[in-house]
Structure 1
Amino acid sequence: MPLTLNQTNQIIHAALALSAQKGYRPMAVVVLDDSGHLKAAQRQDGASMFRVDIATGKAWAAVAMGASSRVLTKRATDMPAFFGALAATGQGKFIPQTGAVLIKDDNGAVLGAVGASGGTGDEDEEICMAGVTSAGLQPG
């Protein structure tokens, strides 16, 4: 079953709620479907103009490569030329930086990805994972 708009909205709501609760800087959260197409995006008041683009690039990289952006960040360190080529091929949409996770169903099927931008990579990833879990799905 594909990722629903209700699940998407729950992911974003929970991610931004955790960010506010922890006092993180203003965030943007973006959810993409399994084909890398936008399901929904929100940018908190005060978040800079690049936040949605960065969150999208993190999520796009995750869903394109079938791995969390934390894993991609590590791989990029080992293969910088390859990841540079991926970024060029993705026409700027591919950002292998910590702050995005896959969204999986209970069977492990990838439904999409969620990316965040505004805090540290760890903070971004933390709110993404919380959002996915709150929707009854599995972060990956």
Structure 2
Amino acid sequence: MGLKLEQAQSIVTAALAYARAQGLKPMGFVVLDERGALRAAAVEDGTSLARWKVAWGKANGALSMGVSSRKLHEMAVERPHFVAALGSVFDAGLVPVPGGVLIRDAAGAVIGAAGASGDTSDNDEAALLAAIGEAGLGS
């Protein structure tokens, strides 16, 4: 069925709430559908100018390769030339560090990806995992 706008918006809203509850630095969140189209995004006051682009790169890399950006990071450590070359293949780029996760429906099908940037990569990822779970979806 695909990722619904309401689901994408709820992920952003829940991720923002998580970030504030945890006292994270100002964050940027991006949610893409299974086609890679933007469905929802938000960038908090006080973030750097390109924060949303980093979040986009994490989500786009995860969606394009079918794995989390954490896994892309592991791949980059093991095969740096391969992951570096992916940047030239993906028009929208990729950022191979934690903070980009796949979004799955109840059947386990990938229906999108979300990216976060602003705090540590681990905290970026944690905000998304909590938000996706709160939206009733999997990662």
Aligned to 1:64: 64
User: Deviation of residue 94 (structure 1)?
Assistant: 1.4
Aligned to 2:125: 125
Aligned to 1:2: 2
Aligned to 2:83: 83
Identity %, equivalent residues: 45
SS in 1 for 2:45: coil
SS in 1 for 2:21: helix
Mapped pair 1:23 → 2:3: no
SS in 2 for 1:138: coil
Aligned to 1:93: 93
Separation in structure 1 between the aligned mates of residue 92 and residue 40 of structure 2, nearest angstrom: 20
TM-score by length of 1: 0.96
SS in 2 for 1:113: strand
Aligned to 2:114: 114
Separation in structure 2 between the aligned mates of residue 59 and residue 134 of structure 1, nearest angstrom: 19
Contact 2:60/2:92 (8 A) holds in 1: no
- Return the letter of the residue paired with 1:39: R
String of CA shifts for 1:85-135, please: whole Å, max 9, x gaps.
Answer: 101122452111111110001111000000000000000000011111111
Aligned to 2:12: 12
String of CA shifts for 1:41-92, please: whole Å, max 9, x gaps.
Answer: 1001111111100000000000001111111100111111111110112245
SS in 1 for 2:35: coil
Separation in structure 2 between the aligned mates of residue 68 and residue 117 of structure 1, nearest angstrom: 14
Separation in structure 1 between the aligned mates of residue 47 and residue 116 of structure 2, nearest angstrom: 11
User: Deviation of residue 40 (structure 1)?
Assistant: 1.3
Separation in structure 2 between the aligned mates of residue 34 and residue 26 of structure 1, nearest angstrom: 27
- Return the letter of the residue paired with 1:93: G
Runs of 4+ in 1 over 6 A off after TM superposition: none
Runs of 5+ consecutive residues of structure 1 not aligned to the other structure: none
Separation in structure 2 between the aligned mates of residue 80 and residue 27 of structure 1, nearest angstrom: 27
Separation in structure 1 between the aligned mates of residue 65 and residue 90 of structure 2, nearest angstrom: 12
Aligned residues: 139
SS in 2 for 1:6: helix
- Return the letter of the residue paired with 1:85: A
